[in-house]
Chain A
Amino acid sequence: MRHVRFRVFAVAAVLVTVAATALPTWSQTKVTPKGKLTLAWHAGFASRWLDPQEHDGTATPDNFFTAIHDGLIKNQGTTLYDHPALAEKFAVAPDAKSATFTLRRGTTFHNGDPVTVQDVKFSYENYRGAKADVFKNRTERIELVDDRTVRFVFKEPFLDFAILFGTANVTAPGWVVPEKYYKQVGPDAFKQKPVGAGPYKLVRQEPGVKIELEAFDGYYRPVHTKHLVMVAVPEAATRVAMLERGEADIVYNIPGPLIPKVSKMPGVTLAPVLSGSFFLEFPGFQDPKNPFHDKRVREAVSLAIDRRAMNEAETAGMGKVTGNWINDDVQYAIDWPEFPRNVEKAKQLLREAGYPNGFEFSWITPLPTFYSRGERIIAQLREVGIRGRLQTMERGIFFQKLRGGMKEFPGIQMILHGVRIAGSWSFWYEAYFKCGGANSRDRVCVKDLDAKFDRYEKSINAAERKKLAEEIQRGILENHYLVPVFRHAFVNAIGPRVTAQKWQDIFPTITTGYAYPWEDIKVKE
């Protein structure tokens, strides 16, 4: 089990304008790429994922554009956002009102064109994916200082700039596309035949089905495997059969019941990457008539949940029982001890709250398609007398209802969320807690915490921000406004042809569920 503790000290460090400058020494040694690696992907492919300019903000496209494209800085290994890539160094001004990047020498796109500061400027200005408006509204101008140096100047201090800019599964204005080619073919054709500066160039694409890539010999780091093929295989059992037969070398997303079987396959290594956090929400608990209005009832729910059993059954124990509902791999996330299970105490709290025989709630709605997790919670809550039923929703409908707010969840309800947002704790708060947040809408709304969050947003003082962030998170957890359940493991498997001592060799990047950096993966002949 990987257990990485990394505290986020980043902003302080960035403010004093530090950046990695040393090029890894092994990049000088020439490596001839060889062999073929086949990756079985767990859904269909969307061509739009091959264009960072339209990043949808989900933790999905980074699997693809980390192969084809490259950013100025990025998350890689245990680095959260500031791993130098196309930029060999960068610095954020002490007043956080500008950021300056120096391009690496001699990098080119797959078509041979050099990566220039003009391409950087174009990519930033033309970016229209997730959080594009945040960058647009805060940027005053882009200065091309010289042919290797570019400076982004902001209207006011932009403390989250680097963390947003460098996290591939949040936004991608810092991922450089070739201006000339992009304009020449247009955004749609670019998605069919993307050209980037990443370690792999596109050979062929069957939209939705298969992506064939080949090592790019102009990449500034050694690329070890010649051919990288990604195939979309929606059915999990089929993916496991492919692994068993040697048709695939890396297989994503193995469901719980198949984990024991895969772990016994000869030469196969399981890669349980820690992923989204599952937590309970009580829509409309602010209404005094709602039983969850009483803090003791919410605490009773928390005490009734058997988190370890959940982790054991759903992810063969490979997930993690954590205390915070916000993943610890984001900025300012706080550590929180694991919540205990205590059925007796839960019953007592219910008695004190006036529910000696428990009570009934209408529905618990889990994130599709993790229905069995909802079923387990129902069974566990039953032991303390809280009885309710499972409501299943198709994925699209679920998100539609979330955005609909309170009116879509009338009566006494629970929602079991499963969320992964990279970058900063504040993105979690904004989306799932704040009043009017994109997913929380009007269902949660805790005024004093929202007020603190406003102060956090306005503050340009890093120490104060950190303090507020921690206070807010404590406030949520102490009051059981949300009840954390466990952290899901996105369980992948590595076949015998891949060279790896341990799974972390293939999945070293802690902020993603995917196997990048791709260029480091080696296959046996």
Chain B
Amino acid sequence: MTQFIVRRILYSIVTLFILSGTIFLVVRMTGDPVLLLAEAGASTEDLDRVRQQWGLDRSWPVQYLAFMENAVRGELGKSFNYRMPVSELYFERLPNSLILGLAATAISLLVGVPAGIVSAVKVNSWWDNAAKGIGLLGLSIPGFWLGLVLILVFSVWLRWLPTSGAGDWRHVVMPAVALGWYFAASMLRLTRSSMLEVLGSEYIKLAKLKGLPEVVVIGMHAFKNALIPVLTLAGVNMVVMINAAVIVEVIFAWPGIGRLLYEGIFQRDFPLVQGVVIMAGFMIVGINLVVDVVYALIDPRIRLTR
């Protein structure tokens, strides 16, 4: 087991290494940040001065080495735009993103899991079709459109909720719904198919044969087993929601990491984009690591096959 964990951690490091190299290159090939930071009438001297100030006049390998050297020491560099360490900016925004991510995950689970169970238990019934309908709406409505409709209805017409920004719980409701909605659909799908798979398996049939009441069979046995993949997906989804909820954060002016990333990209704030992506990578790698280890604990065969 120890050997397994060590191996997985090594994999994670390789993953982060690939990620850092890719984002470093890709972001640099999107253009020169200096042009966006200078005025319409800037002279070449102006531009060179700015380039030098940020070390952009150095060659890419040198810049990459400097970036990695800092990253290893836990520093992600200084943002061009904010003149602050990227890690500081990231952690300043993180609580907001956590709140939003958790709330949206809760919504996606609260909607997706019960609906998925019902539709799996009552396959092809009216319930099943209703659940499929919800899933379809979740998959086919773009987040920005849903977000604006929510603002229009609940802020402008009904005047129940504030339009945007962060504050108390009322500020979280609409962004969390707009974000969780899409993921609820995938939760629903996964819960349904996962439940169907478990319900069709031999031991559930056996349990039914043994005469256990259906509620117990579904509630205790089937649900418990079907839950593992659902929670795994929920975990991965949450990491995505925390780090890349760009559209919802832009619509609702939510001060989270997604917006930080969005503005960083359009401003060509290289250190910021690199930093946020690396942090997201850390989280993804981390959650994958946990999932792998937990799975390996549950099912020892995995240790050998992977």
Contact = CB atoms under 8 A, between A and B. Distances in A.
Nearest to A130: B39
Contact of A421 (B41, B82, B155, B165): B41
A281 interface: no
A313 B43 CA distance: 35
A210 B167 CA distance: 12
A237 B147 CA distance: 11
Most buried by A among B49, B83, B92: B83
Interface stretch (A42-50, A350-358, A442-450, A498-506): A42-50
B267 to A, nearest CB: 7
Contacts of B40: 57-58, 419-421, 427, 431-432, 438-439
A131 B38 CA distance: 10
Interface stretch (B226-234, B252-260, B282-290): B252-260
Contacts of B80: 48
B220 to A, nearest CB: 46
B83 A47 contact: yes
User: Could you say which of B37, B49, B163, B259 has the most chain A C-beta atoms within 10 Å of its C-beta?
Assistant: B163
Nearest to A431: B41
Nearest to A429: B41
Given A44-B263, A46-B267, A231-B165, A208 B82 contact: yes
A242 B41 contact: no
A244 B156 contact: yes
Given A131-B46, A192-B84, A438-B41, A242 B250 contact: no
B245 to A, nearest CB: 14
Q: How large is the interface on A (under 10, 10 to 19, 20 to 34, 35 or more residues)?
A: 35 or more
A399 interface: yes
Contacts of A419: 40
Contact of B163 (A128, A238, A394, A439): A238
Interface in B74-111: 78, 80-84, 89, 92
Determine which residue in B159, B164, B267 has the highest number of CB atoms from chain A within 10 A of its CB, and name it.
B164
Contacts of A430: 41
Interface string A30-51: 0000000000000110111000
Nearest to B161: A245
Given A56-B37, A235-B250, A47 B82 contact: yes
Contacts of A241: 151-152, 155-156, 163-164
Nearest to A50: B83
A454 B81 CA distance: 36
Interface residues of B, number: 47
Interface string A388-431: 00000011110110010000000000000001110000011011
A480 interface: no
B156 A396 contact: no
Contact of B41 (A57, A133, A238): A57
Contacts of A170: 39, 41
Given A247-B162, A247-B163, A188 B83 contact: yes
B2 interface: no
A232 interface: yes
A188 B84 contact: yes
Which residue of A44, A237, A244 has the most chain B CB atoms within 10 A of its CB atom? A44
Contacts of A133: 43, 45-46, 49
A93 interface: no
A476 interface: no
B165 A56 contact: no
A237 B260 CA distance: 20
A432 B39 CA distance: 12
Q: Of B44, B162, B165, B259, which is in contact with the most chain A CB atoms at under 10 Å from its CB?
A: B165
Interface in A114-166: 128, 130-133
Contacts of A399: 31, 35-36
A208 B263 CA distance: 9
Contacts of B250: 234-235
A207 B92 contact: yes
B240 interface: no
Task: Report which residue of B39, B84, B152, B260 has the largest number of chain A beta carbons within 10 angstroms of its beta carbon.
Answer: B39
Nearest to B250: A234
A399 B21 CA distance: 26
B62 interface: no
Interface in A208-247: 208-210, 231-235, 237-238, 241-242, 244-245, 247
30 contacts: A43-B263, A46-B267, A47-B81, A47-B82, A56-B37, A132-B46, A133-B43, A187-B83, A206-B255, A207-B82, A209-B253, A233-B253, A234-B259, A235-B251, A235-B253, A237-B151, A238-B251, A241-B156, A245-B156, A247-B162, A395-B36, A396-B36, A399-B31, A400-B32, A400-B35, A403-B32, A403-B35, A421-B40, A427-B40, A427-B41
Given A47-B82, A208-B263, 12 more contacts: A44-B263, A46-B81, A57-B42, A57-B46, A131-B43, A132-B46, A170-B39, A233-B164, A245-B159, A394-B266, A396-B36, A427-B41
Q: Which 7 A-B pairs have the closest CB atoms?
A: A57-B39, A431-B41, A44-B263, A46-B81, A209-B255, A233-B253, A399-B35
